Amino acid sequence: MSDTLPFLTRRMLVAGLLSASANVALAGPPQRSLRPAPRGRGATGRMAPSAENLVDRARLDGAKVGFVVANAENGEVLEVMKPLLPQPPASTAKALTALYALDALGPEHRFPTRLIATGPIEAGALKGDLILAGAGDPTLDTTRLAELVAALKAAGVVTVDGSFLAWDGALPNVTHIDPEQPVQVGYNPAVSGLNLNFNRVHFEWRRAGAGWTTAMDARAKGYRPDVQVARMSIAKRRYPIYTYEDDGQADIWTVASGALGQSGSRWLPVRKPTAYTAEVFQIIANSEGIRLGAAKPVSTLPEGTEIARVESNDLRSLLRDMLKYSTNVTAEAIGMSATVARGPDPTSLVDSAGRMSRWLGSEIGSPRPALVDHSGLGGGSRITARDMVRALVTLGPPHGLEPLLKPIRMKDSKGRPMESYPATIMAKTGTLNFVSALAGYIALPGGGRLAFATFVADPARRDAIPVAERERPQGVKPWTARARTLQLRLIDRWVTLYDAAS
């Protein structure tokens, strides 16, 4: 990674962030913003209320609000509120993971999924074992797996005399991202060196007479193979809606009959991604006339000759989609891959996240970042608004982070999108139960640029929700809407106050 930025080194920018907020660092976080007084009319044609007034109007009793806004070019801190308060970053942590991965892997990195043969191919028979070897590709889907089968067929393989083996040792095998989530949420699956369809299985049910028919499949464009590694049965009850059990061979699910209705579907998490990927590969191979038995997992990658491969898109493309759709599996697989590249291999997701935290702290000159994963799903992660802005100002430009972020549309007082708002906001959102975060950049109408981070959180209220109720807890939707409105109103204030043309 380059040690310099145009005109200013990273060290100078960090120093600017430190000196501009020296009163914060030495005297503790102030309770009032640095420039609270209303001043002038901005692009919206309205006076800029104080940050304290905006927080009061948000009606987020019990929540802690922290923010920092700085000049993105030189790091000068313009306004703060509780800048040193450690807060859950939620999915804004994915922006940090993007920086970590770009630094370790490079923007052109691709994740290959390979087929390796331990013997020659003679008259359509592979005289040895066939190994399906993953490298942690978080975007491998059934369609691309079918392309790998087609490449195997093109290599002339019809039968395999040896065994079909599956190797996932490129990454630690993680059974779930966050242990404190409901069992059925598709955004909290396992992660391994072999991942498929974001490690989700499609569950579908249809009314049939007095009961229902069910299916568990690995659908993707043009394919819909039913799988046995994830199985569903219907239980006559109303609650809990789902139960999960690992029987050692498969993911065993039950669903409450009282919750099904006529028909429907949802994605469920996969806890055995290596077996899932290998089973789908086997199904497609058999459908193409390639006789293949069930896969056997191996902990060590055997030596052999690569006979086929498929690759992911380049890392920047993966990160752009990750930041747009906030895919947790992508963040975790990429984050752990970055740790593997730095070495030594991580022993767990928490170990990898801890090393990312230490890397970030070293780069921005702060001991405070403390992340428990790479996606922000775990509520135990903490970072301050000041440290998030330091990362945006010092690490974002050399790695080209800003274009990877998602455009944020401003809304008027009635919640309607403002099509002609003059400033451009590129940012990452983050949402957990009673946690809302927003961090990124503002391109001002007059040509200046700001970097900002806003964290709104009520961890005590979040922690009080029973795990089984955390998919849709009562009260979280209006709370999140008020928090997001506050964040947009703060941005509107900053555009009004700090635009050179206002």
Looking at the fold, whether 455 and 467 belong to one and the same domain comes out as: yes
Strand partners, 436: 431, 456
pLDDT in tens, the chain (502 residues): 333 223 234 444 444 454 434 333 323 333 344 444 444 444 444 578 999 999 999 999 889 999 999 999 999 999 999 999 999 999 999 999 999 999 999 999 999 999 999 999 999 999 999 999 999 999 999 999 999 999 999 999 999 999 999 999 999 999 999 999 999 999 999 999 999 999 999 999 999 998 999 999 999 998 999 999 999 999 999 999 999 999 999 999 999 999 998 999 999 999 999 999 999 999 999 999 999 999 999 999 999 999 999 999 999 999 999 999 999 999 999 999 999 999 999 999 999 999 999 999 999 999 989 999 999 999 999 999 999 999 999 999 999 999 999 999 998 877 888 888 999 999 999 999 999 999 999 999 999 999 999 999 999 999 999 999 999 999 999 999 999 999 999 999 999 999 975 4
Give the dihedral of Cα atoms 125, 127, 128, 132; nearest 10 deg: -30
Buried b (16+ CB within 10 A) or exposed e, 137-161: bbbbbbebbbebbeebeeeebbebe
Q: Which of 263, 278, 312 is the last residue of a domain?
A: 312
Task: Looking at the structure, tell me whether residues 358 and 480 fall in a common domain.
Answer: yes
Report the CATH number that the domain containing residue 143 is assigned in CATH.
3.50.80.20
Four-CA torsion 158, 161, 163, 168, nearest 10 degrees: -50
Radius of gyration over every alpha carbon of the chain, rounded to an integer in angstroms: 25
Paired with 67 in beta bridges are 81, 454
Q: Do residue 87 and residue 118 come from a single domain?
A: no
- 422-428, Cβ contacts within 8 angstroms, sequence gap of 24 or more: 422/43, 422/495, 423/43, 423/491, 423/495, 423/499, 425/491, 426/402, 427/452, 428/91, 428/92, 428/94, 428/95, 428/323
Evaluate whether residue 252 is within a structural domain.
Answer: yes
Give the dihedral sign, CA 456/459/460/465. positive
Tell me if 461 is assigned to some domain: yes
Residues 482 and 333 in one domain: yes
Domains: count for the chain: 2
> Would 2 be classed as within a structural domain?
no
Q: Is residue 1 part of a domain?
A: no
Phi/psi of residue 25, each to 5°? -70, -35
Same structural domain for residues 457 and 375?
Answer: yes
Q: Are 442 and 496 in contact (CB under 8 A)?
A: no
This model's pTM is above 0.75: yes
Residue 21, Cβ density class (10 Å: 0-12 exposed, 13-18 middle, ≥19 buried): buried
Note whether 226 and 305 are same-domain residues: yes
CATH code of residue 430? 3.40.710.10
Considering the domain boundaries, does residue 5 fall inside one?
no
Q: Is 308 found in the same domain as 274? A: yes
Residue 263 and residue 117 share a domain: yes
Measured distance CA(480)–CA(487) in Å, rounded:
11
The verdict on residue 4 lying in a domain is: no
Q: Which of 312, 341, 366 is the last residue of a domain?
A: 312
Phi/psi at 96 (nearest 5 deg)?
A: -70, -40
Q: List, in order, residues 6 or more apart from 374 with CB less than 8 Å away.
A: 93, 94, 97, 100, 331, 332, 334, 335, 336, 349, 352, 353, 356
Q: Round to whole Å and give the CA distance between 241 and 229.
A: 21
Whether residue 57 sits in one domain with residue 184? no
69 plus 161 within the same structural domain: no
> Do residues 180 and 299 share a domain?
yes
Domain region containing 328: 10-107+315-498
Report yes or no on 260 lying in a domain: yes
Residue 141: its pLDDT value, please?
98
Does one domain contain both 51 and 178? no
CB 177 within 8 A of CB 189: yes
Q: Which of 312, 346, 379 is the last residue of a domain?
A: 312
